[in-house]
Structure 1
């Protein structure tokens, strides 16, 4: 019995000796393969460690996102507003708005100028989406036959009178004309079709009186009068909003007005003064700060868990050959144990976490308030439970009190991009965080990097080369074993043949 190997040379498989040569070679190769098995496990361990580092960096990146939110002044200085009559006056306040009470009495709302064609300018079966030239006789348009006509008009805004024009072309529908009016005025004038009264309505999109009581739109005779049926004299002119602010009469071309960083919106006339109160939005600041600390504690808890996680040395990573002999549940349980402790006692993470902890307790100079120079001053302390490993606790009553008293000092405590002793808490924590993340990236890379661009990747690439070289040597060893057994088979076969021949000769002599 013979077998062909890859280079088609003949392999003797026990025909002469009666031995199971193939089984013997496989057993020999299994022994030869042990170093490769260890290399495969080492390669898998490198991959698992890389993935564990990257997962840690993802957690750190999430914390970094929370830090970014803490570095906006709106986190600490945002304002809230309340109105005694939300149906008439509402308000929003910028971070710089002055706190206190504002009295607003709305006497008149601002309105936009509007004009309309006469009722039944068009027939009941008129279709604004069909070509005008198929539905209307244009021979009287400017006294010329209808082909292409340029329509000129003007309107007023805060900058004064604005000229506008558009072309009406054969095949244009009324809807096309409306679009051209809007385009010609940058949306300052709009028109639409009133199918109930078969007429066109045109109006300014911005409320207010921009022409001192005169027409806001100059829609002279011609296309507007002859075709759309609009009479310039029928315009309902726009009005300004009129209101009293703390007893002072004021006007606005629209139904809003900004004073001292507060934007008032007028919804309707009022029967008397409406009181608007502007204050610091302590609830929003509390939510942001406590949310950040919760995320910080979650991150610290995760990192401490990874560096203290038990490493199960009796459960090395599985090779492909091993997984083929196991059930899915067995593989799952094994991997759970083998992946534990990948970052146990990792110095990069332990030192990074320690640096972040230290960042919280250094005093911050230049907050503007000598009573707010440390997180301790605003009610943030380290948990007294040693098992919490440096997690933070918040005295919400004290933090709320400090935010009400001096939100700007609290902001300077957390957020100040200066260097040295004036550097804010979040900047200091971020410095430690960035340093840790950069070190992890140098070691474990990210999804966009090639193997040669990070330390573990280079080790993995080197291991792959070693495994390839070993595989090549394994092929050579296997060929050597087959050659040896083949020669043995050939020798035995030759000896058997000689023995048979000798027996035949001896038998002939007797």
Structure 2
């Protein structure tokens, strides 16, 4: 028999009675739970208030410590001519900008045709088109000479092409190569007409042969060019490239050393090395003119200095005897004043002479640039502050108020009776409605710039937006002082007050900490009480179990006696 089951021996449901007694013992715990729930609500509401005050502090900080009142906006009459940028506090005004000259970059152009000629002799019977150092590879196809089709393949020699032209024209047009000028010449007793719309080979283009209305057509420029991907020593320069014989060639551009190895580095390698250096130039190869060009990365009338140190790279590429095309400086005037000059097309305030104004010239011409206070941004900052101020006041009103329903039942807000909260509301209102000392008497209250209180609650309102706008136009410095005056400005006062309330050691964080500690204490108290309840419950159960055991024993004895008296065996 399981005596832990209530009443099996006694017939008395003592388990229910134990539960009821234990429930009575837990009444103090339930009171503590209700108290803890109230603490949770209060703590949560205090934290929410702290959050709202934090947002308000951010809005106040924007007004009192930032560059809001120095914010500017700039308008450019013709944005295709000039771009303008401004810093906070830039000098206000409208300016006529005339750009007379844009800045360009200087470049050093090496001599042209630095590659050797197609052939050193006029005999080109062994010079195949595929091996000849034309600027671009000759493509297979057809060309047209005096209306006759001529087949061209890269495997032909240059003499084969001359012979094919002669054959196609029945000997009327002959071709020769002049090694001294590195040019092909086609000759005829009558005007030569080259090409057709359906030619498929690029031979005439690569040979630089173009109609001129005569019977003699010669290449318009030297034909040979260097091989930019081959090693410098194998690139067929007119002047062979040397690195001094030890693979440690060196030259300088604008004082920056560039190393090269003639046997392993190609022109492409060296150009990449120049472009990745700190020399301040960009190198490129002009395949049409067969020359190397150095262009300054910075605009302006600036030189490019070059010097061979070991080897002759600069001499071989014609850069040491190159032509410097000087760049131009930016030249412009402001309001018809003296001509201002800048290496760059962007001129900062040190060049423009207008504090906080930078200009970037895009084209020559005249336009206007107007710098004005960004009143819209300032008004938005003020309106955002007013909105959050009222949100804080409404939050406090809601949680400190009492209400009565139709039955007369009164409900109090979570923070009702919390004097420190009501003090926050009143002190905030006092700051925004009070006089700002040290300012002109005509503008030392917020209501003098259109911000006022109704007097019926703690809220404020931009009651006269026109007055606010007018104040920002005509008295910006005074409006700034209302918020930023070092000793009594609204923003300065409110920042100090909010630091006292929500700073690291502020009143609200301290309050939240204390409420949290109270809640924790209740947890500890309820745990101790529950331990006592559990002990009492177990004691009751033990007592009733003992009673059941005693009752069981009595029942067994009664059964035995009854059996004796009745002559029946005991069960």
Indicate the TM-score class for this superposition, using the shorter chain for normalisation.
Answer: 0.7 to 0.9
Q: What is the rounded CA distance, in whole Å, between the counterparts of 1:119 and 1:21 in structure 2?
A: 118
Call closer, same or farther: CA 1:202–1:297 in 2, change over 3 Å: farther
TM-score by length of 1: 0.74
Query: Does the 8 Å contact 1:141/1:226 carry over to 2?
Result: no
2:495 is aligned with 1:405: no
Question: What are the residue-to-residue correspondences of 1:24-43 with 2, within 5 Å?
Answer: 24-43=17-36
Q: Which residue of 2 aligns with 1:142?
A: 243
Call closer, same or farther: CA 1:414–1:344 in 2, change over 3 Å: same
**Structure with greater proportional helix content:** 1
Question: What are the residue-to-residue correspondences of 1:80-479 with 2, within 5 Å?
Answer: 80-114=73-107, 136-139=230-233, 140=241, 142-144=243-245, 146=247, 149=248, 151-155=250-254, 163-165=255-257, 181=274, 184-185=277-278, 188-190=280-282, 203-210=295-302, 215-218=303-306, 225=314, 233-245=322-334, 246-257=336-347, 258=349, 259-271=353-365, 273-308=366-401, 341-367=413-439, 369-383=440-454, 386=456, 389-418=458-487, 423-437=488-502, 438-444=506-512, 454-479=513-538
Q: Report the number of matched residues.
A: 439
Q: 262-271 vs 347-356, which deviates more?
A: 262-271
Query: Does the 8 Å contact 1:77/1:408 carry over to 2?
Result: no
Q: CA RMSD in A?
A: 3.9
TM-score by length of 2: 0.67
Query: Does the 8 Å contact 1:89/1:264 carry over to 2?
Result: no
State the structure with more CA Rg. 2
Structure 1: give runs of 5+ residues left out of the alignment.
4-10, 126-133, 156-162, 313-337, 445-453
Call closer, same or farther: CA 1:509–1:138 in 2, change over 3 Å: closer
| 1:141-163 deviations in Å (ceiling 9; x for gaps) | 514465xx5755243xxxxxxx3
SS at match of 1:248: coil
| 1:329-377 deviations in Å (ceiling 9; x for gaps) | xxxxxxxxx9x9322342222101110110112222334x442221122
Q: Which residue of 1 aligns with 2:51?
A: 58
Shift of 1:481: 1.1
Q: What is the rounded CA distance, in whole Å, between the counterparts of 2:403 and 2:269 in structure 1?
A: 74
Match of 1:482 among 531, 541, 557: 541
2:65 is aligned with 1:67: no
SS at match of 1:43: helix
Q: What is the rounded CA distance, in whole Å, between the counterparts of 2:269 and 2:403 in structure 1?
A: 74
Q: What is the rounded CA distance, in whole Å, between the counterparts of 1:487 and 1:471 in structure 2?
A: 24
Query: Does the 8 Å contact 1:219/1:230 carry over to 2?
Result: no
Structure 2: give runs of 5+ residues left out of the alignment.
116-132, 138-227, 234-240, 406-410
Query: Does the 8 Å contact 1:92/1:263 carry over to 2?
Result: yes
Shift of 1:41: 2.9
Q: What is the rounded CA distance, in whole Å, between the counterparts of 2:29 and 2:287 in structure 1?
A: 84
Query: Does the 8 Å contact 1:67/1:426 carry over to 2?
Result: yes
